[in-house]
Amino acid sequence: MSKIIVLDRDGVINEDSDAYIKSADEWQPVPGSIEAIKALKQAGWTVAIATNQSGIKRGYYGHKALTEMHQKLQALLGGDRVDWISFAPYLAEDNSPARKPGVGMLSAIEQRFNLKLAGAPMVGDTLADIRVAKAKSMQPYLVKTGKGLRTLASKEAVLADVPVYENLQAVVEALLK
C-alpha cells in the first residue's frame, strides 16, 4: 500500500487570508507547494486534503466557487492530482465533528482509503490542524506559511514536540529523504 499524507489547504497549499479565499482568482499557491505535491505523487504517496471552509456558511462564497478553487489546484498539478479532498463548511460554534479539530474529515479519509491514519504525516498551519492530527495519532508537521507563525507565537503546549518547517516543500523534502 502506498503511503498517505493529509494536508491542510489554506496556508499550506495556497496563500491564506484573514478575509478568506473566496474565488479561484484569489486562490494562489504558496511557492513550492504544487511542486511538493507533485513530488509526493511521483514517489507513490496518496495525498488527501482536510480543510475547514467556514466561508461557505458565512456566505462569502458557495460550493461552486470552492469547486472552482479545487479544479484550479488539480489543473496546476496536471497528472499528479490530489487523491481526495474533504471539507467542512461549518463554523466553530456549530460544534460539527467534521470541522477540525474534530476528527470527522480524517475519519472520512480513513473510510475512503480503508486504512488507519495513525502514524501518517499531517501538515498544517493552525492549532486545529495539530490537535486533529494528534487526536488520530498522526505525526503533525507545522509550516510557517499561512497562520503558522501566529500558531508558533501562541506557545501552546500541544506544539511542544511538533516539527516546524518553512513551508510544505520543506516538509516534503524531509519526508522523501
Q: Specify the CATH number for the domain of residue 96.
A: 3.40.50.1000
Q: Does residue 10 carry a catalytic annotation? A: yes
Task: Please tell me the total count of domains within the chain.
Answer: 1
> Which residues, listed in sequence order, are joined to residue 140 by a DSSP beta bridge?
122
For residue 78, the one-letter residue type is G
Q: What pLDDT, on the 0 to 100 scale, is given for residue 34?
A: 98
Task: Average pLDDT across each block of 10 residues of the chain; the chain has 177 residues. List them in order.
Answer: 90 97 98 98 97 98 98 97 98 96 98 97 98 98 98 97 98 97
CB-count burial class (<10 Å; 0-12, 13-18, 19+) for 161: exposed
**Catalytic residue from among 8, 16, 125, 129:** 8
Q: What pLDDT, on the 0 to 100 scale, is given for residue 2?
A: 66
DSSP symbol at 168:
H
> What's the helix, strand, coil split of the chain in %, to 5?
35, 15, 45
Residues spanned by the domain of 161: 4-176
Q: Does residue 129 carry a catalytic annotation? A: no
Q: What is the pTM of this model?
A: 0.97
Q: What is the C-alpha to C-alpha distance for residues 125 and 121, in angstroms, rounded to an integer? A: 13
Q: Is the peptide bond prior to 31 cis by the omega test (within 30 degrees of 0)?
A: no
